[in-house]
């Protein structure tokens, strides 16, 4: 008895056969944008430099 495979599953399996390094290149690309080390000193300075926003931003100059 053959198991059913959807078209998407077949496509992904064929893609992985054609490009065996696909997953590693995807992980490398992800690491460029998302897997970064956080600098605690920079985070502290950014929190201290924040300017407090007034509750009604659009009406602050109305007298």
Those residues with Cβ within 8 angstroms of residue 60's Cβ, 6 or more apart along the chain or in another chain: 54
**Confidence (pLDDT) at 42:** 92
**Confidence (pLDDT) at 61:** 62
Q: How far apart are CA 63 and CA 49, in angstroms?
A: 28
CB atoms within 10 A of CB 12: 13
**Confidence (pLDDT) at 12:** 95
pTM: 0.48
Rg of the chain (C-alpha set): 25
Angle among Cα 12, 16, 17 to the nearest 5 degrees reads 120
| Spans in the chain with pLDDT lower than 70 | 1, 60-63
**Confidence (pLDDT) at 44:** 93
């Amino acid at each position: 008895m053959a198991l059913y495979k959807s078209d998407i599953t077949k496509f992904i399996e064929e893609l992985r056969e054609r490009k065996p390094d696909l997953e590693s290149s995807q992980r490398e690309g992800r690491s460029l944008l998302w897997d970064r080390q956080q600098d605690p000193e920079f985070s502290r300075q950014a929190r201290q430099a924040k300017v407090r926003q007034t509750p009604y931003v659009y009406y602050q100059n109305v007298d």
